[in-house]
Structure 1
Amino acid sequence: MKTAIRFATLLASTSLPVIALAQEATETTVLKPIIVTAQKRTAESKDVPASIVVESGETLALQKTKRRDDAIAAAPNAQTGAVTAKLYTSFTAIRGVGSALIESDPSVGVYLDGVGIGSAQAHSGTLLDVDRIEILRGPQGTLYGRNNIAGSVNIISNLPDPDRTGGELGVEYGRFGTATATGIFNTPIGDNGWAARGALSVSKTDGSLYSTINDDDLGGGKDVHGRVSIAGDLTDNLEFLGIVDIERQVLDGEMLGMPEADFLKGRRGVAIDDPIRIESDLATVSGQFTYHLDNGDKIVSITGFQKSAVDVGGNGFPLGYFAAYDGLFQSLGFPNFRYRADNPFDGSYRQWSQEVRYVSEDNERFNWVAGLYGEFSEGSRTYGANSTFTGGAATLSTRGDTDTVSLSGFADGTYALNDQWKVFGGLRIGHDRKSFDYDFTANKTAELLGLTGTFARGYNARLSETYVTPRIGLQFAPMEGLNLYGGVSSGYKSGGFNSGFVGLGDEGAYDSESVTSYEVGLKSATLDDRLRVEASLFYIDWRDQQVQGFNGLTGATPISNAPQSQSFGGELSAAFDIDNHWSLTAGAGYADATYREYRNARALDGSGAVDVSGNQQQFVSRFTGSAGLSYQWETGLDDLVGKVGVNYRYRSSYYFDVQNTIQQKGYGLIDAYVGLENDRYAAYVFAKNIGDTDYRTVAANLGVGTLVSPGDPLTFGGSFKIKF
């Protein structure tokens, strides 16, 4: 035990943040209990036999974490990024398991106030009036069902408070014309325990890049995000919570430039005159009823509706990039070929869900939950013309529509064998049914010139799968403040259909994928609960991984299955309340995620299959580390408390492609804040990427050269908030 504490303290002093726990200055220095609902029962995080990272809304606000994917990436062994362009599709991986796919279902489940966000396009939304975020590492197939093979993320909003009338108004301004205005208001409704809460955020940025053609700003956008919630007691035993969350984003996509050396030398200009423009609408509506039984048990019903739509237009490629494509096709016998400058795309997704679960009363011997879940979704994707001849005479497009019905039942519980030993486990049985309609459209000119010959025509298909995802394990508490656990869990991700440009030799459908995870861990609280240390080791056996390929000759982007993949590693984290003023957090993660057997990966030039067995998973760093140090003090002036914090996050090198040819070197980012606040005002200044580190968020070789997009450089600004 002493060795573990020494190692955690050493790690905290050298590698540096998970999450800076900004504590109010008090007479005692005890870390606040971390209450979670990650296992659909209320419990302290230290008592849950699973690897969980909890980020408080206060911490997220201090660190100026604005987006969901940025909050996820703050946890060790969790990584996010863009596969192609902002909101076009995003990438999220936990413990090396993720999906770098434009088309398929996500591998990490994201839940907003209990409602699953089924479209990966909606995972990149902004954070607004958040109470906390719970990040569960490892497959969560038993409690959360399909498409949670890597883990789950629960975003919990601040709820209406019937005992408070008030709110806050805030403004923020920073580099590159970045500005945000936020308002929050809470009010009781009558005197019977009902309350309502509203939050609104409006933001804009000019972007950190510029066009070398017309000197316009690039990479900017606007965002409007609002939420209204209402809560109260319908009867003495029945509670209701209703939430409507709506967001509208209009953003520039990733600015792709070449040669990549220009960006790595710090140049922020790119030869683009028609940037990718992405318009995205996100909406989540939920109604939750909780009925309390006389014996202390309760029945919870959550009805949810989630909708997202994205419309992508414009170019986003540097001038002259497609000249190489023109030459390629001209050499194949198309002398008048000209590649289309823009490549429009639009997609929509609608989801209805219903869960009913029975939750037992908390007791020392047996705690359990059981329920039923149903989901119906409709998804549609349209890809615009892939290429065109002079004058726009020949065009191609595809449209894929997928309807999904998913039904499942689950049960999970923990049984105390004695004061030290507990056994936990559960089981989910589910069934997925998908129907797919695919249309390929080409005008007469394209057909006469034979341009359609490389692509599949329209077709219809059906899919029906039954899955079982159990988990089982043991928990041991040898002494007060120490919990050890070990277990096996599983996850399932549904199969699907290719809806983009599909070559004639490509499979229209791809199989489901599954994981089995083996994990051991410990959770410790020592020094009068001022020091918490958590550690875990895992091995994940990953079968039939869904991988998206790209054919640089035809432009086809089919998904296929890699027979065997694996990931193994561990995490170590610590939170230490040193005294009334100083707090320290640190964490590290290691995940060696590889394609164990994948002999038929797509060759970029369309020449055939490539054996990438043993290669590192794309977008996944083997090592991630983070740490934070915060200090606060009483100023003695108008009850003002001063706060200062510095945070560091590191990720080792990773590859952007399955072939492991395009690499991002390891890099670290330093952020800091300092400010004053009391119960009426708050004023802060902040800086992000203080070292002005150069790194890439996107790098891709589309067959004729590598395109890259840089990450944000040094940014800084200030904020002011009035509380009332």
Structure 2
Amino acid sequence: MKTAIGFAALLAGVSLPVLALAQEATQGTVLEPIIVTAEKRRAESKDVPASIVVKTGETLSLRKTKRREDAIAAEPNAQTGAVTAKLYTSFTAIRGVGSALIESDPSVGIYVDGVGIGNAQAHSGTLLDVDRIEILRGPQGTLYGRNNIAGSVNIISNLPDPDHTGGEIGMDFGRFGTLGTTGVFNTPIGDNGWAVRGAFSASKTDGFLHSTVDGSDLGGGKDVHGRLSIAGDITDNLEFLGIVDIERQVLDGEMFGMPEADFLKGSRGVAVDDPTRIDSDLVTASGQLTYQLDNGDKIVSITGFQKSAVGVSGNGFPVGYFAAYDALFQSMGFANFRYRSDNPFDGRYRQWSQEVRYVSEDNDRLNWVAGLYGEFSQASRVYGANSTFTGGEATLSTRGDTDTVSLSAFADGTYALNDQWKLFGGLRVGHDRKTFDYDFNANATAQLLGLTGAFAPGYSAKLSEAYVTPRIGLQFEPMDGLNLYGGISSGYKSGGFNSGFVGLGDEGAYDSERVISYELGLKSATLDDRLKVEASVFYIDWRDQQVQGFNALTGATPISNAPRSESWGGELSVAYDLDDHWTLTAGAGYADATYKDYRNARALDGSGSVDVSGNQQQFVSRFTGSAGVTYQWEAGWDDLVGKVGVNYRYRSSYYFDVQNTISQKGYGLVDAYAGLENDRYAAYVFAKNIGDLDYRIVAADLGTGKLLSPGDPLTFGGSFKVKF
């Protein structure tokens, strides 16, 4: 705790001099206020008593940030990635909270136009026609409910505009055979205030790796994404917004990794003869009704439906990775035996949700929101492990089906005690009920080879738990443009069941997670809002963390609970519009996330348990930061505006495993863009990872050596779009 207090003092020592210097700067352009709906009611970002990052769709487009996970990972104290393969085992953490899990609920809630993506496997996807992204750091259990213990990400699309007819068509191209197209169209429907908006994108890339067996490309894929929305007034007081969003993603040549020795030599080739294919589909439909009351308050109803599916086939392992296993069974008379020649997976998820809330946001002293939320979901996961030999096959498969019913009631608000002090707080009360059915199957050959003895037979189980997630705090505004706040908030993440190759002794439920977060922060907007400085410090007490284990002897990935973990640190961000041309941004984060008490972690070699108390959390860097500069000017021809930007992102070293044996050293990436744009067309060039830095994004040891996947090398290209 002494270290945390020292870090708070450090942030104050950095941010307060910046504020002092700002008072001496010259006056200039006034920035538009940043309006957010993070608290489910409209407010300026600088007035929200929480650490929040807002990125506009224009900024994301200029930086060529095309995916949800990339937008999150670009911010301090946020990490995203995959545990084994993209689209299969997604991982997201904020402030060090976010276990590397395959089968459990997410730790970070991701919401697209008000509907949560409940299946973590569907968190990866493209950004299409986005107005803004709001990233809230810290537990959001009061307003967003279960499974938001690390934070929440709101992705808000551009909505239909009844006063405008038009759109745009764009093309993108880049290194490694990357091609893409986008289209947006908006039109009023008649003259009664209704409008419809459509958006579409399609892209493909060949990938930057290749198979040394047949020369085929690895790491490539395709993506098709479409959205249709309609909005209008049903009556003078009742508004409707309907959205249907469909996305299909395909990875044609994914792999579970290249040998570490090849990566260290700078190789771009991997000896894979049956690359993994991953198909991901996500469909979301929502209907929102907003009723405006005569007193200015409103009642909002959001009905959502979501369906996702992920399919995996192929081997994906380098040839010879399981040579020791192959030799063992070949010595038993099974000619040409190949261990895990195919690793099929089929995951399906359906979710129905309903939220009704009352919003009061225009009062002088008390602004609040209260509501009810209900969710029902069905998840089915089928895992397979097939081994082949001359004239036969040994097959194992499991199926886990989970039905979830979640109900909750919540209220949250801010009360102005006087002109300077405000009290904020809220409470959510909820209940989760889960039912689970598990089946294990093996053919006669698998039983003969003794591949089944370590796995549990089929069983059924239930889980029922109530939870309460309050928050409370104070805001203080000593002067115009300076907001200080401090608060305590809590979060809850639902327990669940292991569903993939459950080992003997791992039957039944693992426990839910609980966090309590303590946070202090300041937000300042000076120089006519041209300079914005935000700083925050936090301490998170994390109980019963759900941790994914791995048994190299069986391939099982059981989840167990770490009794106590913690994370502490802070963030500092500065954004400064020097004048009409130059803008500077910088951000830094520190998160010391560790297992405080975890004495029975699963050993990677399957030998039993190990004590990892004090170890660093997986995939979490202690230091993260970014800095950028942009310059824009009038070209003096055809109303064109020139735009140039350079951005730098850094993250310190981190580990890929609980035992802290496989690591990636710290690295920084430089990106840049330049282009010209007016109201009719735009043209840009860009480059990412300009230094062509080699780094790992996935690494694991599955029993016979380290495998890893490298990050994207230097990529460059251009884009052109026509507006109408």
1:52-75 CA distance string (max 9 Å, x none): 000100000000001100001111
SS at match of 2:325: helix
Q: Could you say which residue in structure 1 is the equivalent of 2:81?
A: 81
Change (3 A) 1:77 1:198: same
Q: Could you say which residue in structure 2 is the equivalent of 1:22?
A: none
For 1:601 and 1:227, locate their aligned partners in 2 and report how far apart those are by CA, in whole Å. 44
Q: Is the 2:85–2:256 Cα contact (8 Å) retained in structure 1? A: no
Q: Please tell me the residue identity of whatever aligns with 1:281.
A: D
For 1:443 and 1:507, locate their aligned partners in 2 and report how far apart those are by CA, in whole Å. 22
RMSD: 1.7
1:257 Cα deviation from its structure 2 partner? 4.0
1:390 Cα deviation from its structure 2 partner? 5.1
Q: Could you say which residue in structure 1 is the equivalent of 2:704?
A: 704
Q: Could you say which residue in structure 1 is the equivalent of 2:606?
A: 606
For 1:654 and 1:31, locate their aligned partners in 2 and report how far apart those are by CA, in whole Å. 37
1:384-415 CA distance string (max 9 Å, x none): 12545554432110000000000000000100
Q: Please tell me the residue identity of whatever aligns with 1:596.
A: K
For 1:417 and 1:330, locate their aligned partners in 2 and report how far apart those are by CA, in whole Å. 78
Q: Please tell me the residue identity of whatever aligns with 1:306.
A: Q
1:264 Cα deviation from its structure 2 partner? 3.2
Change (3 A) 1:422 1:345: same
Q: Is the 2:279–2:310 Cα contact (8 Å) retained in structure 1? A: yes
- Aligned pairs for 1:118-267 within 5 A: 118-252=118-252, 254-267=254-267
1:273 Cα deviation from its structure 2 partner? 1.8
- Unaligned stretches of 5+ in structure 2? 1-11
Q: Is the 1:254–1:698 Cα contact (8 Å) retained in structure 2? A: no
The answer to which of 547-556 and 443-452 deviates more is 443-452
For 1:174 and 1:663, locate their aligned partners in 2 and report how far apart those are by CA, in whole Å. 31
- Aligned pairs for 1:455-466 within 5 A: 455-466=455-466
1:234-257 CA distance string (max 9 Å, x none): 000000000000001111464344
SS at match of 1:263: helix
For 2:566 and 2:330, locate their aligned partners in 1 and report how far apart those are by CA, in whole Å. 43
Q: Is the 1:622–1:653 Cα contact (8 Å) retained in structure 2? A: yes
Q: Could you say which residue in structure 1 is the equivalent of 2:90?
A: 90
For 1:144 and 1:384, locate their aligned partners in 2 and report how far apart those are by CA, in whole Å. 35
Q: Is the 1:325–1:704 Cα contact (8 Å) retained in structure 2? A: no
Q: Is the 1:507–1:560 Cα contact (8 Å) retained in structure 2? A: no
Q: Is the 2:99–2:618 Cα contact (8 Å) retained in structure 1? A: no
Q: Please tell me the residue identity of whatever aligns with 2:412.
A: D
Does 2:320 align with 1:313? no
For 1:10 and 1:504, locate their aligned partners in 2 and report how far apart those are by CA, in whole Å. 64
Q: How many residues are aligned here?
A: 708
For 1:82 and 1:621, locate their aligned partners in 2 and report how far apart those are by CA, in whole Å. 15
1:498 Cα deviation from its structure 2 partner? 0.4
- Aligned pairs for 1:343-358 within 5 A: 343-358=343-358
SS at match of 2:142: coil
- Aligned pairs for 1:130-529 within 5 A: 130-252=130-252, 254-327=254-327, 338-385=338-385, 387=387, 391-529=391-529
Q: Is the 2:383–2:398 Cα contact (8 Å) retained in structure 1? A: yes
For 1:282 and 1:92, locate their aligned partners in 2 and report how far apart those are by CA, in whole Å. 18
Q: Could you say which residue in structure 1 is the equivalent of 2:648?
A: 648
For 1:390 and 1:550, locate their aligned partners in 2 and report how far apart those are by CA, in whole Å. 30
For 2:121 and 2:87, locate their aligned partners in 1 and report how far apart those are by CA, in whole Å. 5
1:342 Cα deviation from its structure 2 partner? 1.5
Q: Please tell me the residue identity of whatever aligns with 1:426.
A: G
SS at match of 2:453: helix
Q: Could you say which residue in structure 1 is the equivalent of 2:15?
A: 4
SS at match of 2:415: strand
- Unaligned stretches of 5+ in structure 1? 12-26
The answer to which of 445-454 and 533-542 deviates more is 445-454
Q: Is the 2:386–2:393 Cα contact (8 Å) retained in structure 1? A: no
For 1:232 and 1:313, locate their aligned partners in 2 and report how far apart those are by CA, in whole Å. 44
Change (3 A) 1:463 1:6: same
SS at match of 2:263: helix
Q: Please tell me the residue identity of whatever aligns with 1:272.
A: V
Q: Please tell me the residue identity of whatever aligns with 2:259.
A: P
Q: Is the 1:257–1:271 Cα contact (8 Å) retained in structure 2? A: no
For 1:334 and 1:594, locate their aligned partners in 2 and report how far apart those are by CA, in whole Å. 48
For 1:181 and 1:334, locate their aligned partners in 2 and report how far apart those are by CA, in whole Å. 54
For 2:19 and 2:308, locate their aligned partners in 1 and report how far apart those are by CA, in whole Å. 42
SS at match of 1:176: coil
Q: Could you say which residue in structure 1 is the equivalent of 2:634?
A: 634
Q: Is the 2:41–2:361 Cα contact (8 Å) retained in structure 1? A: no
1:217 Cα deviation from its structure 2 partner? 1.1
Q: Could you say which residue in structure 2 is the equivalent of 1:691?
A: 691
Does 2:591 align with 1:580? no
SS at match of 1:716: strand
For 2:20 and 2:383, locate their aligned partners in 1 and report how far apart those are by CA, in whole Å. 52
Q: Please tell me the residue identity of whatever aligns with 1:190.
A: G
The answer to which of 340-349 and 148-157 deviates more is 340-349
Q: Could you say which residue in structure 2 is the equivalent of 1:19?
A: none
- Aligned pairs for 1:99-114 within 5 A: 99-114=99-114
Q: Is the 1:9–1:574 Cα contact (8 Å) retained in structure 2? A: no
For 2:218 and 2:121, locate their aligned partners in 1 and report how far apart those are by CA, in whole Å. 21
1:211-262 CA distance string (max 9 Å, x none): 1111111111111000000000000000000000000111146434443132
For 1:139 and 1:645, locate their aligned partners in 2 and report how far apart those are by CA, in whole Å. 33
For 1:396 and 1:667, locate their aligned partners in 2 and report how far apart those are by CA, in whole Å. 41
For 1:534 and 1:362, locate their aligned partners in 2 and report how far apart those are by CA, in whole Å. 25
SS at match of 1:124: coil
1:265 Cα deviation from its structure 2 partner? 3.3
Change (3 A) 1:563 1:335: farther
For 2:391 and 2:649, locate their aligned partners in 1 and report how far apart those are by CA, in whole Å. 50
Q: Could you say which residue in structure 2 is the equivalent of 1:29?
A: 29
Q: Is the 1:250–1:280 Cα contact (8 Å) retained in structure 2? A: yes
For 2:265 and 2:17, locate their aligned partners in 1 and report how far apart those are by CA, in whole Å. 41
1:542 Cα deviation from its structure 2 partner? 0.2
Q: Please tell me the residue identity of whatever aligns with 2:255.
A: M
Q: Please tell me the residue identity of whatever aligns with 2:588.
A: A
1:356-397 CA distance string (max 9 Å, x none): 000014222000100000000000000012545554432110
The two structures have a TM-score, normalised by structure 2, of 0.96
Change (3 A) 1:334 1:652: farther
For 1:122 and 1:532, locate their aligned partners in 2 and report how far apart those are by CA, in whole Å. 34
1:528 Cα deviation from its structure 2 partner? 2.2
For 2:281 and 2:19, locate their aligned partners in 1 and report how far apart those are by CA, in whole Å. 43
Q: Is the 1:8–1:573 Cα contact (8 Å) retained in structure 2? A: no
The two structures have a TM-score, normalised by structure 1, of 0.96
1:458 Cα deviation from its structure 2 partner? 0.4
1:10 Cα deviation from its structure 2 partner? 11
Q: Could you say which residue in structure 1 is the equivalent of 2:669?
A: 669
For 2:506 and 2:221, locate their aligned partners in 1 and report how far apart those are by CA, in whole Å. 37
SS at match of 1:324: helix
1:88-124 CA distance string (max 9 Å, x none): 0210000000021110000000000000000011110
For 1:334 and 1:109, locate their aligned partners in 2 and report how far apart those are by CA, in whole Å. 51
1:486-527 CA distance string (max 9 Å, x none): 000000000000000111132432110110000000000112
Q: Is the 2:81–2:91 Cα contact (8 Å) retained in structure 1? A: yes
